[in-house]
């Protein structure tokens, strides 16, 4: 049994660091491998959960025998004003836990250990907002799989290349809360497709075909394209939004849901949520199993 990185499945942390690094060009394989292995092995406080994931190019360099064939970089989707841009980076580090100070110390120590091989190019500090709500005020995660279902949805099954690992998608979204909150509660509920206080799915008569639920609840040949979402709000007064983060056993599920949200399916309908929030980054990653991660120095 290939054990996953445990931090993927630990829920409810109050403090989150999302750090995206770009590899410096011209590194020797040995330099990259040994620096990364040291950074991954740094002792962290017990209160910090860490999840490491790698872009396709970086993982290919690190572990050519362990690359799932479907792994690929994120590609821009949509057109004109309504675009999900690709900003693919090399390494994603997600630190989370209830002790913000410990997360900060871990983020500083790991970034310093990586400095010779990678530069930090995107950093978002996330936090638990009320009872797991997005900053729009809606509960985020209601339809997430529960219990054993989380692993079935998120992990590459035993027997396949990358078993115990997971495909990951990340996107920084910037919210325009003033325009969203200018809507009545009923209109907001029709943007999301659920009620605001208690996250009950709207019934068929009230559910618009461009609601977020309508566009993200995608079925292909009857099979629901389920994700395990771990998104968290980030930011302050000047800039805020959602760092969308999701895990899947099948990278194509991300493509299919994004196509449905960004008007790239036959019906051409876009997700109404994209009128109130804008993605400004987009990457696909591979989060290897715990064993593959800890053997990076010797692969
Ligand atoms: C601004 C960005 C986003 C916000 C604020 C947001 C928020 C929400 C909320 C409030 C729900 C309903 C409650 C729930 O089931 O969790 C939801 C559902 C969902 N979202 Fe998002 N979301 C965002 C972006 C995305 C993206 C980029 C994807 C995938 C590419 C996605 C996939 C899903 C899925 C699969 C569901 C469950 C649909 C269902 O089966 O009912 N979301 N989201």
CA–centroid distance, 188 to ligand 1, in Å, is 14
Ligand 1 touching residue 107 (CB < 6 A): no
Active site residue ranges:
140
pLDDT at 81: 84
Give Cα 26 to chain centroid, integer Å.
28
Q: Which residues contact 139 (CB under 8 A, 6 or more apart)?
A: 131, 132, 133, 194, 198, 199
- pLDDT band for 1, please (50, 70, 90 cuts): confident
Q: Over the stretch 19-46, which tens digit does the pLDDT of each residue have?
A: 999 999 999 999 999 999 999 999 999 9
Q: Whose CA is nearest to atom 24 of ligand 1?
A: 244
Closest CA to 277 of 207, 173, 149: 173
Lowest mean pLDDT among 15-19, 191-195, 201-205, 295-299: 295-299
CA distance 254 to 35: 31
Q: Over the stretch 62-82, which tens digit does the pLDDT of each residue have?
A: 999 999 999 999 999 998 889
Torsions phi, psi for 68 (to 5 deg): -60, 140
Residue linked to tokens 């910090």: 48
CB 87 within 8 A of CB 4: no
pLDDT at 297: 86
Instruction: Find the angle CA(95)-CA(65)-CA(154) to the nearest 5 degrees.
Output: 45
Torsions phi, psi for 127 (to 5 deg): -150, 155
Torsions phi, psi for 123 (to 5 deg): -135, 125
Strand-pairing partners, residue 82, are 79
* pLDDT of 299 above 80: no
Read off the tokens for 72: 């690929």
CA–centroid distance, 28 to ligand 1, in Å, is 40
């Amino acid at each position: 049994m290939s054990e996953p990185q445990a931090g993927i499945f630990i829920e409810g942390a109050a403090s989150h660091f999302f750090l995206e690094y770009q590899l410096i060009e011209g590194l020797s394989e040995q330099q990259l491998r040994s620096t990364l292995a040291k950074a991954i092995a740094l002792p962290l406080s017990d209160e910090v959960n860490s999840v490491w994931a790698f872009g396709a190019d970086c993982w290919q360099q690190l572990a050519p025998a362990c690359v799932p064939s479907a792994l690929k970089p994120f590609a821009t989707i949509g057109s004109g004003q309504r675009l999900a841009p690709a900003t693919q980076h090399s390494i994603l580090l997600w630190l989370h836990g209830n002790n913000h100070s410990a997360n900060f110390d871990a983020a500083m120590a790991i970034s310093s250990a990586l400095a010779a091989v990678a530069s930090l190019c995107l950093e978002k500090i996330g936090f638990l907002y009320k009872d797991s709500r997005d900053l729009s005020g809606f509960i985020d995660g209601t339809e997430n799989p529960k219990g054993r279902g989380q692993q079935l949805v998120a992990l590459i099954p035993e027997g396949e290349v990358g078993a115990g690992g997971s495909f990951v998608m990340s996107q920084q979204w910037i919210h325009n809360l003033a325009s969203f909150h200018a809507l009545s509660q009923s209109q907001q509920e029709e943007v999301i497709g659920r009620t605001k206080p208690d996250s009950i799915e709207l019934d068929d008569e009230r559910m618009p075909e461009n609601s977020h639920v309508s566009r993200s609840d995608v079925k292909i040949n009857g099979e629901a394209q389920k994700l395990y979402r771990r998104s968290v709000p980030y930011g302050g007064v000047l800039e805020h939004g959602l760092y969308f983060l999701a895990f899947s056993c099948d990278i194509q599920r991300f493509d299919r849901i994004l196509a449905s949200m960004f008007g790239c399916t036959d019906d051409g309908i876009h997700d109404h949520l994209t009128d109130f929030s804008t993605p400004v980054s987009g990457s696909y990653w591979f989060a290897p199993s715990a064993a593959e991660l800890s053997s990076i120095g010797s692969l």
